[in-house]
Chain A
Amino acid sequence: MNRTTTEKVVKSLKQRHRKEKLFKAAGFASVCFGFLLVLTLISDIVIKATPAFHQHWLKLEIDYQQEWLGVDSLDYEKLESADYRKVLRRSILAMMPEVSGRQDKRSLYKLVSNNAEFTVRDALLKSPEFIGKKKNVWVMLDDDVDSYLKENTEFSQTGIRISEKQAGWIEQWYNNGLIDKQWNTEFLTSGDSREPELAGVRGALTGTMWTMLVTLILSFPLGVAAALYLEEFAPSNRFTDFIEVNINNLAAVPSIVFGLLGLAVIINLFGMPRSTPLVGGVVLTLMTLPTIIIASRASIKAVPPSIREAALGLGASKMQVAFGHVLPLAMPGIITGTIIGMAQALGETAPLLMIGMVAFIVDVPMGVTDASTVMPVQIYLWADSPERAFLAKTSAAILVLLTFLMMMNTLAATLRRKFEKRF
């Protein structure tokens, strides 16, 4: 009997070891799969974002003829409302004298951005002495041309929304050295736009900043106060238990439900203005409060009782112990928890869609009651846009958002390492 068991074991050993290897390999494979996912995700976004880092510009020799402008004096106010479109178009035509026919002309004009006439205007307003003279001005190319230049290395073929004729003109400009590729700094300094080449994230970034400010101002004191009460003062009764259960459940409620709450109560019942960072901040506060409370409670719990007892023994009141000793010692952990909660709020989209922060807003918001949008919602809006150039812009906006998140998380990790006390 004994021998047969040993034999059985020896016989099965090979198979068991093979199974062991397989199991280990499966585990390793899933870890590798995780790495692969992170790599794919990040590289996919970076690759898609690279076109948005640059923007092509065209050097035009603008002829500021007075009759085209429709002004006869050097009055500044009149200069502002002069006919720059005509000047721009005539100047383009002067450069391309062989183009004739209405249709061709129109497709030629389409190659430069809608913004070009304002660039031409600003160039003249800056140096009005050029009126009646010629001046070289760099203007932005249209997003279709921009994408075409970035995607194609040869000019012979037609591109997406670029005809053969247009491709020929672009080639001519390119060979004459009139087209230049520059860093796209406008992406960070301009607001949203329907034209992809003009759209930037400044409006969304400012909106995010205001929203986060409201969230921080509301959620940090409220969260810390609630945690302090529950850890230090709350009697252990049914009401306290009820609060605890509530907090734990709220942490797991889908974020979109908070959006419904914001819409039904904060906007429709309290009549706070829609689409504003104020409402967004309040909704995100309600959403992040459980996170902050749970983290703060853990941090307060980690302060050893000996500290409390020492302070109480010296005659401090419970309130003085809480505010003078426990809270300062727990602060690093509380701040770390708050940063993590804020990072969560920064990436949140769904509840903000509900309260109308999804509107198309060009202006940069100047306060918490201005209509605005935030970075994640901007990403959502651009991802929905049909223009090809918005694909790169979306990815670039994602990179900006991820950079901010990374910074916040690194800050939280550093704080935790630096100030973490082991008692």
Chain B
Amino acid sequence: MTSSTLIFVILFLALFSYWYGMHRSIKVAGGVTKVKQLVSLPRQFGLLTALWCGIPALIVLLLWTVFEATVIESLLVAKLPQNIQEMTPSQLGLYLNDIKIMAQQNLGEVTETSEQIKHFAALEFQQLNLNAAWLKSAIIFLVCLSCVMFIVSRFRLDYRARAATEKITLKVLMACSGIAVLTTLGIVLSVLFESINFFSEVSPVEFLFGTEWSPQTALRADQVASSGAFGAVPLFVGTLLITFIAMLMAVPIGLMTAIYLSQYASQRLRTVAKPMLEILAGIPTVVYGFFAALTVAPFVRDVGESLGLNVASESALAAGIVMGVMIIPFVSSLSDDAINAVPKTLKEGSLGMGATMSETIRHVLLPAALPGIVGAILLAVSRAIGETMIVVMAAGMAANLTVNPLESVTTVTVQIVTLLTGDQEFDSAKTLAAFALGLMLFVTTLALNVVALKVVRKYREQYD
């Protein structure tokens, strides 16, 4: 049985054991009329039985699914001839892939000797898979059955079924909240592990301070540029350049929008403008990318050429502008919160002393809200640095070390996407470089977020 059918089977068994547990508890009580003698209600007994039936089985199934592929592969390798087992991991991976593809097709007779081994292995693979499927179903049935038997054997008149159920439920809830921790752990470990592999091939100093980025490693060692260069400075500069342009666009407009909407605008304008900002915030980034690549970039180039400037068709300016547009609602809503958190008394005091509205805003409200606004800007920067689709579609691929916004630059995220899409070996320096870049990205955005949250929190304490 496949895993998805097994899930349904388990759910069905759980349903059945709900009924069974209820039935048994009534029997323990000595009939329907004596149910009151039980400490817990019969349906609590049923629920407990269902949980005991379902949860262990689901855990076993999950573990099995996670490790099945790896275990079967190692069993298969153990049965292969010695010379094949001694191949390098990547060669072995290709060989195993061949076997798997072969196993999916109809296996006929093969005459070539080299193919015969594969043919044999493919048959073996099919057999292993079949056995595994049987074993999996059998084990899960056994787990269900034994767990239900165990819990039912403990039913007494004074067995506190509800308390037991609630204990299990609490553990399940706790496990669910732990997933966030597991995710973070997964991110850190996967990125860190591959990065360490990468840094054993390329020195961290070269990666962080090198100014040459050309990750295209050649297939053979004697070709030109066989090593590839992994100096990430051009990527960092490109990322910062585009982020800077985006901020130049988003911060003034977002801030002014927030100020106008919260201090000047009529209720009517506000009810129209808020959804407008929400639309901007809700548009998928791939749409912004399309807009940047096919509308803004040609427009920027045409304007530049009419001014006599030489503008690249994938200029940093176009990507930066559109990224700025994407971030406007983000900056605006966060600064809105910060401005609204300033106590009204400050504003009214300033207005009462005869200051104009703009003077109040500039000299009283903004300084008081500054930490919140700085936090908002930091969060916006971290968003801009991590943004992918706009730059993938509108920024360039070639790593130019320049701060000229009219030229084409590339960013960290663009390189991660280019390095990892398409088929390649997983352990080449080229793919590992993507994980090193991912580590940089993760650390940078994490630091920005932590700092931003700290700034905002510190500020809040002042007025509460």
Contact A247 B180 (CB under 8 A): yes
- Interface locus among A13-21, A126-134, A140-148: A13-21
Which residue of A30, A255, A343 contacts B257 across the interface (Cβ within 8 Å)? A30
* B427-460 contacts to A (CB < 8 Å): 434-435, 438, 441-442, 445-446, 449-450, 453
Contact B190 A264 (CB under 8 A): yes
Q: Is B388 close to A, CB under 8 A?
A: yes
Which residue of A226, A250, A319 contacts B170 across the interface (Cβ within 8 Å)? A319
Contact B174 A256 (CB under 8 A): no
Which residue of A29, A290, A349 contacts B286 across the interface (Cβ within 8 Å)? A349
Contact B413 A350 (CB under 8 A): yes
Count A-B pairs with CB separation below 8 Å: 258
Q: Which residues of B contact A261 (CB under 8 A)?
A: 183, 186-187, 190-191
* A230-255 contacts to B (CB < 8 Å): 230, 233-234, 242-243, 246-250, 252-255
Q: Which residues of B contact A22 (CB under 8 A)?
A: 358
Q: Contacts A27-B259, A27-B264, A30-B252 hold; do A256 and B388 have CB atoms under 8 A apart?
A: yes
Q: Contacts A257-B438, A257-B441, A383-B393 hold; do A31 and B286 have CB atoms under 8 A apart?
A: no
CA A384 to CA B179, docked complex, whole Å: 37
* A205-232 contacts to B (CB < 8 Å): 221-222, 225-226, 228-230
- Chain A interface size band reads 35 or more
Q: Is A380 close to B, CB under 8 A?
A: yes
* B154-169 contacts to A (CB < 8 Å): 162-163, 165-166, 169
Q: Is A74 close to B, CB under 8 A?
A: no
Expressed in whole angstroms, the minimum distance between the Cβ of A419 and any Cβ of chain B is 20
- Interface locus among B49-57, B140-148, B223-231, B414-422: B414-422
Contact B282 A405 (CB under 8 A): yes
Q: Which residues of B contact A243 (CB under 8 A)?
A: 177-178, 180-181
Q: Contacts A19-B356, A350-B417, A380-B389 hold; do A222 and B282 have CB atoms under 8 A apart?
A: no
Which residue of B194, B252, B287 contacts A398 across the interface (Cβ within 8 Å)? B287
Number of interface residues of B (CB under 8 A): 94
Q: Is A120 close to B, CB under 8 A?
A: no
Contact A31 B176 (CB under 8 A): no
Q: Is B105 close to A, CB under 8 A?
A: no
Expressed in whole angstroms, the minimum distance between the Cβ of A324 and any Cβ of chain B is 12
Q: Which residues of B contact A259 (CB under 8 A)?
A: 420
Contact A252 B179 (CB under 8 A): no
Q: Is A376 close to B, CB under 8 A?
A: yes
Contact A254 B190 (CB under 8 A): no
Q: Interface readout for A388-423 with B: 1 if CB under 8 Å, 0 if not? A: 000100110010011001000100000000000000
Q: Is A112 close to B, CB under 8 A?
A: no
Q: Which residues of A contact B181 (CB under 8 A)?
A: 242-243, 246
Contact A409 B379 (CB under 8 A): no
- For residue A323, which residue of chain B has the nearest CB? B169
- Interface locus among B114-122, B289-297, B395-403: B289-297
Q: Is A263 close to B, CB under 8 A?
A: yes
Apart from A45-B291, A253-B187, what are 12 other A-B pairs with CB-CB below 8 Å?
A: A20-B357, A20-B358, A27-B264, A225-B172, A229-B173, A243-B178, A243-B181, A252-B446, A252-B449, A264-B435, A265-B190, A368-B4
- Which residues of chain A have a CB within 8 Å of any CB of chain B? 9, 16-17, 19-20, 22-24, 26-31, 33-35, 37-38, 41, 44-45, 48, 221-222, 225-226, 228-230, 233-234, 242-243, 246-250, 252-261, 263-265, 268-271, 286, 289-290, 293, 317-319, 343, 346-350, 353-354, 356, 358, 368, 376-377, 379-380, 383-384, 391, 394-395, 398, 401-402, 405, 409
**Considering the complex of A and B, which 5 residue pairs feature the smallest CB-CB distances, nearest first?**
A254-B386, A347-B284, A27-B260, A271-B69, A264-B190
